[in-house]
């Protein structure tokens, strides 16, 4: 259905737009969105539309390489969902929401078997079981994997399953605003990135599965055009709360490269999977020291990501880093055949760049990887706005102050099921889209988008984009202080001013897309800075050099809410209590002994 150009009562022209009516709109076509749609289809809800802003099957999920957690006990039968939950809470520094943690860990053995039944290409043990490897800070081998391309294999499996179920999908559509009056969500608006045409979706339920906000930093493991904060920013603008946005995970091992070399520069910050360390990789500084012996003599390279990232950052800051600002990650003590079998994508990537992982180390340095914060949701994934759900990296609550490797993919499929179940119980058609929502929210948004397209301005879009990324890295990176965070907020005002005066191309141009992304990133960046400033302690991935201790009184979550007066408002609330089973696992004190791997 298409709406031709019309005029408001004041004579203002409303651009033409396409209207679509569905029961459930899923924004984001990675693992979380795909698994939600599958659950809905399996429960008989066929009036669903999945929107992706990339080609089908090309979501950020494909970049998750190392594995997906679940207490199958393939190698370690003493493992259990409760110990998995205990490890998750421990490494989240106990600001995770315990119920959400338990939801994920209870489900994951079944979710892994389900993926296996659907044909996922898991690596196998000699007797044909799903293989599992060690990952940092986990007490047992519970990370199932498909070589070092787990996310890619998993998304292929989910997309194939969705196609079997005839789940409707539309690619290359970017949602720019949700249709919400602050109490109820009625759908969304955006534009087709191929044609430039505007789109309105009337939906009884909207699911945000649009990723996180790590690409708001200048060194990150995503592509520049994803994980820009779309999901959290859309939800915040719609009236939902955000939570714990200050907790940003800096993966210890992004690629450290010569950025003046055109062959290497595109790889700066890109992920060198934790599986390299899980399979026995050693970290060395330029003095030849295996320096994790100083920082974590028991768990070494397989300590939690925040610990290893800060250790590497310290080695570099104290002058023991490489010319490219990194340290060495060495797997050359492993056989070539082993590396090629267990880490095929990593081996091939570096081989193409002229580095042989079987005989020489690779250079790595910390890089922004994952936002533990996101949209605050209930136990079903629903926000405080009726009819609006958020799952996957878009939601908060599972990971606390530091995410375990392998838990991100786990969260996507676990909460995809949970949200799908809840929505299927309540689905009741596309619902009534109030005319006031169309005239007061949708059509002004279309006018704003039309005005933005082709706008003359003083600043280049990519210059503003890069300035914002640099700002977050400098002021809210691995090491934070009160002064740097306050300076960051001041600098953010200047970036916001420049963003209002950019030179933007037509709706089909990359500059138009990135101009939209900058708007999302400004919301995410402000929340990161404000949360990090308010949290006057160090906990997990949030490290304040002026507040280095963890404060028991700060075992609280920070919530962010849009206010009509004064902009972004924050408040804190205490965390919940683990179940008896999980508390018992915590009391047992399970812990990985790295040296059994040597």
Residues catalogued as catalytic:
305
Strand partners, 179: 187
Q: Which of 252, 308, 316 is nearest to 285 (CA)?
A: 316
CA atoms of 386 and 206, how far apart (whole Å): 10
Strand partners, 371: 248
For tokens 């925040």, the residue is 306
Residues 531 and 373 sit within 8 Å (Cβ to Cβ) = yes
Q: Which two tokens stand for residue 465?
A: 């984009």
CA end-to-end span of the chain: 64
Q: Which two tokens stand for residue 587?
A: 């009391």
Residues 412 and 229 sit within 8 Å (Cβ to Cβ) = no
**Other Cβ atoms within 10 Å of 519 Cβ, number:** 18
CA atoms of 342 and 556, how far apart (whole Å): 40
Q: Which of 409, 332, 337, 414 is nearest to 122 (CA)?
A: 409
Strand partners, 143: 69, 133
CA atoms of 341 and 362, how far apart (whole Å): 18
Cβ neighbors of 331 (< 8 A, separation 6 or more) are 276, 279, 280, 281, 282, 339, 343, 357, 358, 361
């Amino acid at each position: 259905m298409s709406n031709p150009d019309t005029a408001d009562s004041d004579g203002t022209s409303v651009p033409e737009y396409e209207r679509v009516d569905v029961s459930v709109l899923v924004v984001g076509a990675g693992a979380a969105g795909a698994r939600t749609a599958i659950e809905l289809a399996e429960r008989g809800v066929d009036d669903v539309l999945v929107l992706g802003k990339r080609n089908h099957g090309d979501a950020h999920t494909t970049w998750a390489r190392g594995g997906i957690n679940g207490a199958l006990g393939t190698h370690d039968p003493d493992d259990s969902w409760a110990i998995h939950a205990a490890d998750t809470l421990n490494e989240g520094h106990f600001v995770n929401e315990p119920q959400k943690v338990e939801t994920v860990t209870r489900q994951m053995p079944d979710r892994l078997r389900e993926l296996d039944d659907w044909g996922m290409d898991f690596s196998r043990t000699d007797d044909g079981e799903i293989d599992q490897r060690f990952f940092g800070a986990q007490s047992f081998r519970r990370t199932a994997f498909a070589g070092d391309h787990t996310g890619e294999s998993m998304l292929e499996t989910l997309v194939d399953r969705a196609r079997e179920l005839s789940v409707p999908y539309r690619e290359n559509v970017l949602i720019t605003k949700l249709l919400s009056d602050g109490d109820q969500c009625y759908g969304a608006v955006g534009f087709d990135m191929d044609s430039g045409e505007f789109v309105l979706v009337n939906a009884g339920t909207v699911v945000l599965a649009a990723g996180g906000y790590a690409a708001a930093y200048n060194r990150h493991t995503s592509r520049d055009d994803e994980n820009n904060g779309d999901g959290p920013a859309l939800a915040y603008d719609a009236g939902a709360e955000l939570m714990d946005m200050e907790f940003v995970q800096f993966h210890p091992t992004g690629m450290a490269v010569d950025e003046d070399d055109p062959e290497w520069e595109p790889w700066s910050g890109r992920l060198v999977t934790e599986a390299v360390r899980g399979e026995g990789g050693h970290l060395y500084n330029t003095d030849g020291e295996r320096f994790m012996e100083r920082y974590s003599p028991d768990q070494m390279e397989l300590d939690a990501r925040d610990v290893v990232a800060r250790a590497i950052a310290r080695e570099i800051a104290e002058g023991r880093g490489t010319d490219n600002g990194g340290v060495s990650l060495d797997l050359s003590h492993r056989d070539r055949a082993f590396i090629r079998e267990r880490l095929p994508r990593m081996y091939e990537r570096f081989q193409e760049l002229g580095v042989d992982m079987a005989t020489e180390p690779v250079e790595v340095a910390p890089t922004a990887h994952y936002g533990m914060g996101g949209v605050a949701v209930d136990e079903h994934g629903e926000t405080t706005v009726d009819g609006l759900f958020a799952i996957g990296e878009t939601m908060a609550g599972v990971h606390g102050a530091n995410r375990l490797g392998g838990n991100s993919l786990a969260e996507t499929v676990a909460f995809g099921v949970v949200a799908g179940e809840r929505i299927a119980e309540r689905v009741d058609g596309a619902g009534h889209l109030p005319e006031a929502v169309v005239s007061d929210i949708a059509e002004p948004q279309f006018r704003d988008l039309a005005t933005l397209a082709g706008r003359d301005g003083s600043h280049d879009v990519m210059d503003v984009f890069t300035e914002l990324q640099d700002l977050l890295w400098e002021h809210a990176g691995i090491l934070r202080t009160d002064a740097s965070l306050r300076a960051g907020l001041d600098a953010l005002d200047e970036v916001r001013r420049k963003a209002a005066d950019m030179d933007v191309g037509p709706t089909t141009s990359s500059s138009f897309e990135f101009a939209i992304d900058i708007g999302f990133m400004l919301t995410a960046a402000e929340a990161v800075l404000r949360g990090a400033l308010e949290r006057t302690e160090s906990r997990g991935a949030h490290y304040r050099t002026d507040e280095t201790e963890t404060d028991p009184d700060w075992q609280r979550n920070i919530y962010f809410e849009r206010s009509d007066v004064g902009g972004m408002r924050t408040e804190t609330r205490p965390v919940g209590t683990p179940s008896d089973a999980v508390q018992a696992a915590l009391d047992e004190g399970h812990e990985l002994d790295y040296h059994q791997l040597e």
